[in-house]
Amino acid sequence: MEFYDVRELDGYTTSIVYDNGEVDEISEHFMTGGAVRALSGGSFGFTSIDDVKKMDAAIKDAVAIARRLDKLNPRPAIEFVPIPKIKKTTYKVIKNPADISMSAKQDLVKAVEEALKNNDLVKSTKVNYSESYSHNLFRSSEGDEAEFDTYRTGFSCVAVAKDGNNMQMGRRSYYNVGGYEIFDQCDPIKLAIEAKEEAIALLKAGPPPGGHFDVILDQELAGVFIHEALGHASEADTVLEGDSCIEGMIGKKIGSDLVTVRDDPTLVRYGYYPYDSEGVPSQNTTIVEKGVLKAYLNSRETAAKLGGHPGNARAGGLMRPVVRMSNTFIDNGDMSREEVFEGVDGIYLKGSRGGQVNTGEGIFQFNAVLGYIVKNGRIEKPIRDVSISDSTLKTLNNIERIADDLKFSSGRCGKSGQGVPVADGSPHVLVKNAVVGGSA
Amino acid sequence: MNFQRLIDLALKEGATEAEIYYSKGKVVNVETQQGNVGFAEESVSDGIGIRVIAGGAFGYSSSNDPSTYEKAVRTAITCARARGKDPYLKGLPGPRPYKDVTGIYDKRIDEFELGACIDTMAAMVEKAKKDGNVSVTFGKFSSQSSSTTIINSNGIEAREKETAAYGYIDVIIKEGDQVSTAYDYDVSRALDRDFSGIGSRAAELAKSSMNGVSIDSKNCDVLLGPQAFSDIMEGTLLFAINAESVQKGRSSLADKLGKKISVDGLTMIDDGLMPGGLGTAGFDDEGVPVGQTTIIDDGRLDSFIYDSYTAGKENRESTGNAIRGTYQLSPKVGPHNVRFEYPRSDVIGETDRGIYVNSIIGAHTANPITGDFSVECRNSFIVENGEKSKPIKSLMISGNAFEFLGKINGMGKDDRMLGAFVVPTVRIKDVHVTRGSQ
């Protein structure tokens, strides 16, 4: 089979950075370009260009590279599943950020900064505003076409508090798909106050105990857990490489009955997209239902090999499409937050400083921003720099309680060296007997 | 492309100073899919970053489309005007002589083509799979060449060409319920090494990590291999020695100049002139000459690293540390090649009891301000009587990157170039380790 598809992007990003009360940067960047992926037999050829007027030559080049590779290193032919015909409506921006004046944006950033530093312990502040727009065109040699616009807008803020030699940082952010309307979905000043309070709370936090504990994860941290530990292992390209701890386990029980996990690019969260980078209309995937592994996330190629539907092939900018998550979450349980805490002796962990996974061995690590010792369900003294590292499957089985307060956080996932926007979500969860790294 | 025309336009439109950074790059890249090369890419890209001073402040814009270059110039001026005067801004740098640097361009890499990349990748895979049990889960080989031009309205006019070849491999071994993984990589400015060795090293590491044991939580000597040491220090130490972090109140080393911050006898140098170094350059990304900056001198903090803006704030000279990842970014302070001078020895051979850690998971979660971290270790081993003995299935190490500097008590002779670091295996005394889940 010979095949190619073409993506063209053009757009801009604007960023405003305020640092310690002064403008650190105002910049605007323009970007255009195209990428071509060609398949010949069992080999892919790829090329990207800045000047889309040279697209015909780029297509020729990509096809030539694929043919050459397939000749030098013949492999079994790769098949693609067809693109499902699903009618799509694309999210339409409500308040185009280009219509908002630069001074209004600067006023917002300044107000956030004021709220951040409204305390003598706060010594340093930083606020980032960004908006981006891209116009996306897709076409393939099979005649499929897609065209859509994407806006992403948001801000982040950091407060650094200092007391003697002790220096700590608090951070909050809100990013979403859409334009300036995202500021109607959040309260930037309230988030700034939370960042400030977090930095100050961390000044009073002690070092964490190391060892095995029952832990309650807040929505952000449990979201990072499900993204890192299970989400990456469920990406079908990783499964096909023999590098996933859940290879061959579809239909099998891999977690506690309480656990249902979905990846849904149709939700208007940061990982939203109407079409993926193979031109496939997006759809929801239930990865785990009541503890049973139901599906992997697929591209057109992996769906042909492993079954399931395509729609999760995403590319960072003009790089090659790779199987990726979108908005990935643990679905709501039926307990209240209070019931999750009831009677627990252990550690409550809040916020995420990121995580990483070894999908083959099924080992993950993530780091909480702030923690608390919990005694008989009551939140007691604060601790900081707490990490958990554990086995993915053991942890999924040890989830014993799930609340009904699902919440999403926005982030960027860096698989294959390509940053793409994602959202991770979860309610509060209780995990029994997790490994906490600590020094006290 | 006549960039002087864009500088002239900026000055005509009201900028008092202007700078164009132009880079052009070419990459040939091959990757494995299910064990052998199934993906090949050849891409070129070029673009400009334009930085202007207007109304006493910087403005920045970038573009990769020549038809919008002039628009980018005007946007940069609008951005600068929106900021208001910056009292610390001393202006763009002026021309100064550059030192000759060697080993950053190899014509053989510039001319390396697809067939040769495929052969190199295939050799890496073949070496890795020599023992039938090892599978390659990902492999990549790329050859890159780029050229950079910087001109500014003060008379800087600088050009440089550079190349790099990069190889990476991920392997897995599965036997019964035992699973072991390992990765290795290498990067060089020249085609001066046998990249296939990456394959054998990763396979060897995965094999020797099979049938891991568990260990009890305790405090002990930990030997951090070059990857583990550089991963922990990158987000913490390199953040803290950056003048921007210092000036903005985010470096925990801010008030430590002249004070002891590491063990005696340890000197740390950012050596931007090291032959063949990954960060070696004649001039930095705003055209300032690159040199060597001693950061830690015999245990005492001697200097931070600066670009012209942060240097201007302190009325001193830039250390030539303006770095930009791409033309889309305005220059920021960053290191070139950070290396250590400290007595070298057979650091494993002289360790009676300890733990060797090859690599870690989660290094980026270290707290850049406080230096506190707690990470999972991979491919780690019990060290007994001067030898790596049993592999350890799972463990975490916790501590503080800055305190580690004061607890170093040995360095090996196995220096490797890893990102901005050139580092060997480093022995740290009295580190807290936590028993893992398995």
pLDDT in tens, A258-281: 999 999 999 999 999 999 999 999
Residues 6+ apart with CB under 8 A from A247: A239
Q: Which residues of A touch B248 (CB under 8 A)?
A: 19-20, 124, 126
pLDDT band at B306 (very low <50, low <70, confident <90, very high): very high
Where are chain A's structural domains?
Answer: 2-203, 211-437
pLDDT score of B1: 66
Rounded CA separation A56/A242 (Å) = 37
* Contact status of B181 with chain A (Cβ, < 8 Å): yes
Count the residues in chain A: 440
CATH fold label, A2-203: PmbA/TldD fold (3.30.2290)
Check A33 against B68: CB less than 8 A apart: no
Q: What angle do CA A423, B233, A370 make, to 5 degrees?
A: 45
The three-class DSSP label of residue A195 is: helix
Rounded CA separation A378/A376 (Å) = 6
Do A397 and A256 contact (CB within 8 A), yes or no?
A: yes
Instruction: Name which of B79, B137, B138 is nearest A28 (Cβ-Cβ).
Output: B79
Q: What percent of chain B has pLDDT over 90?
A: 91
pLDDT score of B438: 65
Residue A242 has pLDDT above 90, yes or no: yes
Residue among B124, B108, B114 nearest B200 (CA): B124
Beta pairing partners, B111:
none
Instruction: Give the rounded distance of the alpha carbon of B389 from its chain centre.
Output: 31
pLDDT tens across B213-224, in order?
999 999 999 999
pLDDT tens across B30-44, in order?
999 999 999 999 988
Element (H, E) at B169: strand B157-175
Residue among A33, A39, A34, A32 nearest A62 (CA): A39
Query: From the CA of B313, how many Å to the nearest CA of chain A?
Result: 14
Q: Which residues of B touch A65 (CB under 8 A)?
A: 40-42, 114
Region B373-398 average pLDDT: 95
CA atoms within 13 A on the CB side of A369: 24
pLDDT tens across A63-103, in order?
999 999 999 999 999 999 999 999 888 999 999 999 999 99
Q: What percent of chain A has pLDDT over 90?
A: 91
Residue A184 neighbours by CB distance under 10 Å: 10
Residue of B nearest to A12 (CA): B63
Rounded CA separation B357/B109 (Å) = 33
DSSP string, A48-111: EES-GGGHHHHHHHHHHHHHHHHHHS--PPP--PPPP-----PPPPSS-GGGS-HHHHHHHHHH
End-to-end CA separation in angstroms for chain A: 61
Residue of B nearest to A58 (CA): B43
pLDDT tens across B185-221, in order?
999 999 988 999 999 999 999 999 999 999 999 999 9
Query: From the CA of A328, how many Å to the nearest CA of chain B?
Result: 20
Phi and psi at B411, nearest 5°, equal: -135, 135
DSSP string, A126-167: EEEEEEEEEEEEEEETTS-EEEEEEEEEEEEEEEEEEETTEE
pLDDT tens across B291-305, in order?
999 999 999 999 999
pLDDT tens across B130-173, in order?
987 999 999 999 999 999 999 999 999 999 999 999 999 999 99
* Residue of A12, A69, A225, A247 to mutate, testing the B interface (most B Cβ within 10 Å of its Cβ): A69
Region A381-401 average pLDDT: 94
pLDDT score of A29: 87
Region B363-389 average pLDDT: 94
The three-class DSSP label of residue A185 is: helix
Rounded CA separation A416/A315 (Å) = 10
pLDDT band at A154 (very low <50, low <70, confident <90, very high): very high
Region B104-119 average pLDDT: 93
Region A378-405 average pLDDT: 95
pLDDT score of A24: 85
Pairing of β B408-411 and β B426-435: antiparallel
pLDDT tens across B400-437, in order?
999 999 999 999 999 999 999 999 999 999 999 999 87
Q: Which residues of A touch B180 (CB under 8 A)?
A: 361
pLDDT score of A64: 96
Rounded CA separation A421/B436 (Å) = 32
Query: From the CA of B291, how many Å to the nearest CA of chain A?
Result: 27
Check A355 against B365: CB less than 8 A apart: yes
Top pLDDT among A298 and B329 is at: A298
Beta strand ranges found along B176-244 (DSSP E): 178-188, 218-224
Q: What percent of chain B has pLDDT over 70?
A: 100
Query: From the CA of B88, how many Å to the nearest CA of chain A?
Result: 11
pLDDT score of A439: 65
Check B365 against A72: CB less than 8 A apart: no
Beta pairing partners, A125:
A159
Instruction: For chain B, list the domains and their CATH numbers.
Output: 3-207 (3.30.2290.10), 212-438 (no CATH)
Provide the whole-model pTM.
0.93
Residue B290: DSSP 8-state:
P
pLDDT score of B320: 98
Do B162 and B101 contact (CB within 8 A), yes or no?
A: no
pLDDT band at A409 (very low <50, low <70, confident <90, very high): very high
* Contact status of B357 with chain A (Cβ, < 8 Å): no
Instruction: Name which of B115, B248, B398 is nearest A437 (Cβ-Cβ).
Output: B398
Instruction: Name which of B86, B248, B435 is nearest A20 (Cβ-Cβ).
Output: B248
* Contact status of B321 with chain A (Cβ, < 8 Å): no
Instruction: Name which of B41, B58, B250 is nearest A47 (Cβ-Cβ).
Output: B41
* Contact status of A130 with chain B (Cβ, < 8 Å): no
Residue of A nearest to B168 (CA): A416
pLDDT band at A22 (very low <50, low <70, confident <90, very high): confident
Burial class (CB in 10 A: 0-12, 13-18, 19+), A265: buried
pLDDT band at B65 (very low <50, low <70, confident <90, very high): confident
Phi and psi at A58, nearest 5°, equal: -65, -40
Do A218 and A198 contact (CB within 8 A), yes or no?
A: no
Residue of A nearest to B81 (CA): A26
Instruction: Name which of B39, B114, B374 is nearest A386 (Cβ-Cβ).
Output: B374
Which positions 187-206 of B are in contact with A (Cβ < 8 Å)?
none
Distances (CA, A) of B94 to B18, B103, B147, B153: 12, 26, 21, 9
* Contact status of B120 with chain A (Cβ, < 8 Å): no
Residue of B nearest to A77 (CA): B38
Instruction: Name which of A65, A360, A385 is nearest B137 (Cβ-Cβ).
Output: A360
Which positions 321-350 of A are in contact with B (Cβ < 8 Å)?
none
* Residue of B23, B28, B33, B77 to mutate, testing the A interface (most A Cβ within 10 Å of its Cβ): B33
> How is residue B93 written in tokens?
């740098």
Residue B315 has pLDDT above 60, yes or no: yes
Instruction: Name which of A360, A364, A391 is nearest B181 (Cβ-Cβ).
Output: A360
pLDDT score of A165: 85
- Average confidence score pLDDT of chain B: 95
Beta pairing partners, B171:
B136, B182
Pairing of β A211-217 and β A346-358: parallel
Residue A440 has pLDDT above 60, yes or no: no
DSSP string, A214-251: EEEE-HHHHHHHIIIIIIGGGBHHHHHTT--TTTT-TT
Rounded CA separation A309/A280 (Å) = 10
* Residue of B83, B361, B377, B393 to mutate, testing the A interface (most A Cβ within 10 Å of its Cβ): B361
pLDDT score of B183: 96
> How is residue B31 written in tokens?
């990757």
* Residue of A19, A361, A366, A395 to mutate, testing the B interface (most B Cβ within 10 Å of its Cβ): A361
